[in-house]
């Protein structure tokens, strides 16, 4: 994430993520699933603005009318958790400019939560380390901790245990986001846990080597069949991307976003242009050309 001081306080840019590999190992006794996943931060950002609130209150506003700004929002949950653990009584006014689509498998809410922890740690001068912030993030959601280990990480447990990785080269992707979202819980309820889970060692090696061709061959998401059954749009756009012949294509997270992994910026532009030609057939989707974060 990117943090900049302003006259009023702070601005924090919170990136989206995609999953290059996601395997489900088993269902845990706590109701979650044991996962192995390779996550990559990409250049599609929400923007959060933080300013002091002299009254000691926590206030959130947002430019997206469908997003709750009440205490159920992860941004306010993050702020309250930080205050409780640090014995802090300061307030803050937060405005969220929402650009990452909702319920799209891009972890926008988790990234916003991580951005809140990082931003308030600086604004309130709490002095917590990135590891301490990541530990707090794990209490808020499975993907929150990842955003303290960007640009890429191999994640285990329910996704909160991280081993940071460095991509061998920048990666160019095209995200296709249908207007319909998917419930993560519903996708997991429809999941078939494999008897012989796939090993992600090869995909990690391809990422580290910067071998886009091999990385494209190794893309995997165990949740995709369940998501396609629940949302035919996922299958439709995945097949569209197959026809455009990028290095690889996959659904991110629990969907509904699918993406093309491209050989370079020129191919990403070509794929995006080809997708724009189907607007008259299906106009309820968004396309983003992104690059992996540094």
pLDDT in tens, 59-105: 999 999 989 999 999 999 999 999 999 999 999 999 999 999 999 99
Integer CA distances (angstroms), 286 to 56, 104, 245, 280, 294, in order: 39, 11, 20, 13, 24
Q: Measure the CA–CA gap between 251 and 255, rounded to whole angstroms.
A: 6
Shared domain check, 179 and 150: no
Residue 126 corresponds to which tokens in the numbers above? 């709490």
Provide the number of structural domains found in the chain.
2
Shared domain check, 134 and 6: yes
Shared domain check, 16 and 150: yes
Q: What per-residue confidence (pLDDT) applies to 284?
A: 81
Last residue of a domain, one of 143, 164, 185: 164
Q: Measure the CA–CA gap between 213 and 209, rounded to whole angstroms.
A: 11
Shared domain check, 181 and 98: no
Q: What per-residue confidence (pLDDT) applies to 202?
A: 97
Q: Do 132 and 63 meet the contact criterion of CB atoms below 8 Å apart?
A: no
* CATH number of the CATH domain containing 9: 3.30.230.10
Q: What per-residue confidence (pLDDT) applies to 293?
A: 97
Last residue of a domain, one of 164, 181, 196: 164
Residues annotated as catalytic are 17, 143
Shared domain check, 142 and 220: no
Q: Measure the CA–CA gap between 51 and 255, rounded to whole angstroms.
A: 33
Q: Is the previous residue joined to 270 through a cis bond, with omega within 30 degrees of 0? A: no
Domain range for residue 251? 167-291
**CA quadruple 294, 148, 166, 155: dihedral positive or negative?**
negative
Instruction: Report the SS3 class of residue 69.
Output: coil
Q: Which residue from 110, 156, 105 is spatially nearest to 136, judged by alpha carbons? A: 110
Q: What per-residue confidence (pLDDT) applies to 165?
A: 97
Shared domain check, 7 and 147: yes
Angle between helices 74-86 and 108-123 (to 10 degrees): 40
Shared domain check, 158 and 180: no
Shared domain check, 105 and 185: no
Report residues of the chain scoring pLDDT below 50: none
**CA quadruple 119, 13, 69, 55: dihedral positive or negative?**
positive
* CATH number of the CATH domain containing 278: 3.30.70.890
Helices (H) and strands (E) in the chain, counts: 9, 12
Residue 169 main-chain phi, psi, to 5 deg: -165, 160
Q: What per-residue confidence (pLDDT) applies to 280?
A: 52
Instruction: Note the pTM of the prediction, 2 decimals.
Output: 0.95
Q: Do 263 and 212 meet the contact criterion of CB atoms below 8 Å apart?
A: yes
Shared domain check, 65 and 176: no
Q: What per-residue confidence (pLDDT) applies to 31?
A: 85
Shared domain check, 27 and 141: yes
Q: What per-residue confidence (pLDDT) applies to 277?
A: 81
Q: Measure the CA–CA gap between 279 and 179, rounded to whole angstroms.
A: 13
Last residue of a domain, one of 164, 197, 229: 164
Shared domain check, 174 and 62: no
Q: What per-residue confidence (pLDDT) applies to 60?
A: 98
Shared domain check, 207 and 138: no
């Amino acid at each position: 994430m990117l943090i900049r001081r302003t006259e009023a306080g702070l601005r924090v840019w919170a990136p989206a993520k995609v999953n290059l590999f996601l395997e489900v190992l088993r269902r845990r006794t706590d109701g979650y699933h044991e996962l192995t996943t390779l996550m990559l931060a990409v250049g599609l950002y929400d923007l959060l603005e933080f300013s002091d609130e002299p009254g000691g209150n926590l206030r959130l506003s947002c430019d997206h009318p469908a997003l709750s700004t009440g205490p159920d929002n992860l941004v306010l949950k993050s702020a309250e958790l930080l205050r409780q653990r640090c014995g802090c009584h300061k307030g803050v006014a937060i405005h969220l400019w929402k650009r990452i689509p909702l319920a799209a498998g891009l972890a926008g809410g988790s990234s916003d939560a991580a951005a809140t922890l990082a931003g308030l740690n600086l604004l309130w001068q709490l002095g917590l380390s990135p590891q301490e912030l990541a530990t707090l993030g794990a209490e808020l959601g499975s993907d929150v901790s990842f955003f303290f280990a960007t640009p890429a990480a191999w994640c285990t447990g329910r996704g909160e245990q991280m081993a940071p990785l460095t991509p061998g080269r920048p990666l160019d992707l095209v995200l296709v986001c249908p207007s319909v979202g998917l419930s993560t819980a519903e996708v997991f309820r429809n999941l078939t846990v494999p008897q012989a889970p796939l090993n992600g060692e090869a995909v990690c090696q391809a990422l580290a080597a910067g071998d886009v061709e091999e990385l494209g061959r190794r893309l995997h998401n165990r949740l995709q069949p369940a998501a396609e059954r629940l949302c035919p749009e996922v299958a439709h756009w995945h097949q569209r991307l197959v026809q455009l012949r990028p290095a690889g294509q996959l659904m991110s997270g629990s969907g509904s976003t699918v993406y093309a992994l491209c050989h370079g910026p020129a191919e990403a532009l070509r794929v995006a242009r080809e997708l724009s030609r189907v607007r008259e057939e299906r106009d309820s989707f968004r396309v983003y050309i992104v690059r992996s974060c540094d």
